[in-house]
Structure 1
Amino acid sequence: MALLDDAIDACGGLPRWNSLSRFTLHLSVGGALFSDAGHAREFKDVTAEGSTRTQSVRFTGITGGEQSGAFAPDAITIESVDGQVLRTWRNPSLAFPTNGTHALADELHLVFFCGVAIWNYLATPFLLARPHVVIEELPPWQENSETWRRLRVQFPPGPISLASEQVFYFDGNALQRRTDHDLLGARVAHYSWAHENFNGIVVPTLRRTLTLQPDGTVIAKPVLIDVEIFDAVFE
């Protein structure tokens, strides 16, 4: 599909992406979704290391630098700074408990959520070219004074994504600028901008998730998720 090809080329191209195996990020993640769960500063100024080929991310420096958290599809762990496993969640699922507590109140759920989100953020748009991903180009969308092209994407069961169906928006340079999907019982618009080139891969360094209204417009506050990538290394 032409739009997907353009988006992949704009971010470095499949040959470059397929030549890589690892990434390291210096980033901060916050927003109302985290503060409302009592984790306003859990993911401030942390390091995320992982694989570009399989879903795995290790966060170092969470909880004020006192712990690390590791995400993989089959297990989530919380570890001490010396590598001792403190807690484990086997076979995690995005179907978080609905017993009246916040979905991300448990740190294991928080690590799982951030692992899924950060890995998918980095792997897109290359992830969309994987087998069994169903793509449909939608009519263009006017965002302020810009015209953005759109793809509706349905993901297969693996790898884990925040939502099985999402709509991706790309600007005139074929860079991803927005994604609409369901998130923890709400409809959201996830904006991305300030793209930078790191080792041949173009990554948006600023991301913001807002509540989406039925007419396609967004509610500016509260900011549900706020992501800033300070540096990235791909190897």
Structure 2
Amino acid sequence: MALLDDAIEASGGMSRWSRLQRFTLHLSIKGTLLSCVGRARQFKDLVAEGSTRTQSVRFTGLTRGEKSGTFQPDSVTIENLDGQVLRTWLNPSLQFLDHGNDPLADDLHLVFFCGFSIWNYLTTPFLLAHPDVKVEELSPWKENGQTWRRLRALFPPEIVTSSPAQIFYFDENSLQRRADHGLLGMTVAHYSWAHQVFSDVTVPTLRRSLALRPDGTAAPKPVLLDVEVFDATFE
């Protein structure tokens, strides 16, 4: 598909991506989804390390540097600085989002949520070329005087994601600028910008999730998630 090919090439190319195995990010995650459950500083100034091939992310520096957390589709763990496992959640499921008023108040839930979110953010658009991800190009979208091309993607159950059906927007340089998807019972527009090149891979260093209005525009407040990448390496 022409748009997906253009997006992959703009982000570094599949040849480069296929040679990579791991990533390391220095980042912060904030927003009302964290602050409303008393986790405003939980994911501030930490390191995320993981695989580019499979969904796996380890966060170091949680709770002001006192703990680490690891996300994988079949398990989530919380560890102390010595590597001792303090808590484990086997076979995690997104069904926890449907129970309770504050589903992200639990540390295991928060690591699970941030783990698959960061992994999916980082691996897109390459993830969209997965053989089990179905994509189709939609009509262009105009926003703030710009015309963005769009792809609808349908993810298979084995890829943990916030919602199986998502729409991705790409600017005139074929760089991802927005994604619409479900999130905690609502629909959001997840914006990305300030792209930088790290290890020959182009990465958006700023991301923001906003509630989506029925007309397809985003409400400016509240900011549900705010992600800033300070540095990234791939190997």
The match for 1:224 is: 224
Report the AA paired with residue 149 of structure 2.
R
Aligned to 1:114, what secondary structure does the other structure show?
helix
Q: Deviations over 1:113-169 (max 9, x none)?
A: 000000001110000001121111111000111000000110111221111000000
Separation in 2 of the partners of 1:209 and 1:145?
Answer: 21
The match for 1:207 is: 207
Report the AA paired with residue 136 of structure 1.
E
Separation in 2 of the partners of 1:52 and 1:84?
Answer: 25
TM-score normalised over the length of structure 2: 0.99
* Corresponding pairs, count: 235
Q: Deviations over 1:150-189 (max 9, x none)?
A: 0011011122111100000000000000000111100100
Separation in 2 of the partners of 1:159 and 1:179?
Answer: 17
The match for 2:46 is: 46
Separation in 1 of the partners of 2:98 and 2:39?
Answer: 18
Report the AA paired with residue 17 of structure 1.
W
Separation in 2 of the partners of 1:149 and 1:158?
Answer: 27
The match for 1:109 is: 109
TM-score normalised over the length of structure 1: 0.99
The match for 2:26 is: 26
Separation in 2 of the partners of 1:120 and 1:222?
Answer: 23
Separation in 2 of the partners of 1:128 and 1:97?
Answer: 25
Separation in 2 of the partners of 1:189 and 1:82?
Answer: 39
Report the AA paired with residue 23 of structure 2.
F
Aligned to 1:34, what secondary structure does the other structure show?
helix
Gaps of 5+ in 1: none
Separation in 2 of the partners of 1:53 and 1:98?
Answer: 29
Report the AA paired with residue 165 of structure 1.
A
The match for 1:17 is: 17
The match for 1:169 is: 169
Gaps of 5+ in 2: none
RMSD value, Cα: 0.8
Question: Do the aligned residues in 1 keep the contact of 2:97 with 2:184 (CA within 8 Å)?
Answer: no
- Percent identity, aligned pairs only, is 67
> What is the deviation of 1:101?
3.0
Separation in 2 of the partners of 1:169 and 1:99?
Answer: 31
Aligned to 2:138, what secondary structure does the other structure show?
strand
Aligned to 2:95, what secondary structure does the other structure show?
coil
Asked whether 1:61 is paired with 2:51, we answer: no
Aligned to 1:181, what secondary structure does the other structure show?
strand
